Amino acid sequence: MTTDKAHRADVPPADALPAGVAAAPVSAWRRMRMWGAAHAVDDLYQGLVPACVPYFVLDRGYSYVAASGLTLAAALGSSVPQPFIGLAVDRYRLPRLAPAGLAVAGVGLGLSGLVRPYAAVWLLILLSGLGVAMFHPAAGKAARQAAGDSASAMSIFAAGGSVGFFLAPVLATPALVAMGVGATALFIPPAVLMAVVLLRHRPAAAPARRAGRTGRDRWRPFLFLTGIEVVRSVAFFGAITFIELFWIRHLHSGRGVAGVALACFLIGGVAGTLLGGRIADRVGMVRTVQLGGVAAVPALIALRVTPGTLPPLVFAVLAGLALNVPFAVLVKLGQDYLPGRPGTAAGVTLGLAVSIGGLIAPALGAAAQAYGPQGVFTILCAIPVLALFLGLFLTEPEPSPGG
């Protein structure tokens, strides 16, 4: 009787939840907040790379291609190792991998602005990307165990990453304006402190009954899902890499307004990630992914063609929102397609597929070199159409046995 009462007290009342939403226990929501905060700190360092790119261009005279190479370094470091790290996470516990990855990500990025040779900057950013690769599979698996079948709960973890991207320009722009790229050193302490927090207060593993779905792995829809995440990532990374330069060079704004534009895009990303989880709990995950593809095209077109420096800010928010509506859903859906390999699925959807967007950055840099940042945004308007097409091949996940 005591156990039953404790279980009921741990779960929100059914009538407090929207129809179709899976109830997540209160303890699960606490664990999700812990992992969401850690994800925010981790992705702060991914967000700092595009936030710093304009200052490497303006302060050190890097070309567009060289600056895009820094995004490439971060993407290489985080993308290539992640599937292998995901396999290791599924096979072994590796409880300290997530905090170790946080520390490596912060130290690598933090030191990058203190060295002068381009090769040294590139290698440090590559190291930072490796730290991100160490964090995502382990944290993604633990977060899924805490979230259970609730897309809304999983969206807290995913939104943590969007918050980190948002905080990067908000925190970095004033420091970079005042101190130059050497200000990156100021961002070493958050990673070290959060790593210590995870080591000391690492959330307990979820009970076996909440550990996730069981059933056969379905690789075909997972591959289509991975393609959608790659396309979404190309559009997202292209936007955050060149949106400030688009405002400065094409819309002729000051650096401050350009920083606001990036912040607006990332605010929309946070909102879209959280909104996507709630929409998925109501209408289904596949429909939510397709909705994001439909909404992204007009939002990006409006951002590209709207004149002035302030009115396009509205469409920066909407574009960020539309591109991120599918984000948490893709992470959860990927783990549902591969119920026996949650770490591998997280490594691909949170890591490899996302990072490929950074691998495409040099090609977008070449387009910017030839046609200006506005040329990049013209290209980005068409990219979500491919995600919409791939979304037609997705299917809802199979129900859990007994559930």
| CATH (domain of 289) | 1.20.1250.20
Other beta carbons within 10 angstroms of residue 67's beta carbon come to 26
The answer to whether residue 222 scores a pLDDT higher than 80 is yes
Higher pLDDT, 3 or 279: 279
Query: Would you say residue 13 lies in a domain?
Result: no
98-135 pLDDT tens trace:
899 999 999 999 999 899 889 999 999 999 999 988 99
Position 211 scores a pLDDT of 42
What does the CA dihedral 145, 149, 154, 155 come to, rounded to 10 degrees?
Answer: 180
Mean pLDDT calculated for residue range 145-174 = 80
Position 180 scores a pLDDT of 86
Rounded CA-CA distance 61/71 in Å is 16
CB 135 within 8 A of CB 98: yes
Query: Would you say residue 343 lies in a domain?
Result: yes
CB 92 within 8 A of CB 213: no
Instruction: Name the packing angle between helices 285-305 and 373-391 (round to 10°).
Output: 160
- φ, ψ (nearest 5 deg) of residue 340: -85, -5
Query: Would you say residue 19 lies in a domain?
Result: no
Query: Would you say residue 74 lies in a domain?
Result: yes
Least confident of 13-22, 76-85, 295-304: 13-22
Query: Would you say residue 8 lies in a domain?
Result: no
Position 384 scores a pLDDT of 92
Query: Would you say residue 397 lies in a domain?
Result: no
Position 18 scores a pLDDT of 40
Mean pLDDT of the chain: 82
Query: Would you say residue 20 lies in a domain?
Result: no
The whole domain housing 233 covers 25-391
Rounded CA-CA distance 110/169 in Å is 14
Q: How many domains does the chain have?
A: 1
Among residues of the chain, what percentage have pLDDT more than 70? Answer: 86
Most confident of the following: 12-16, 28-32, 244-248, 341-345: 244-248
Can you give the three-state secondary structure of 212-264, one letter per residue? Answer: CCCCCCCHHHHHHHHHHHHHHHHHHHHHHHHHHHHHHHHCCCCHHHHHHHHHH
Query: Would you say residue 10 lies in a domain?
Result: no
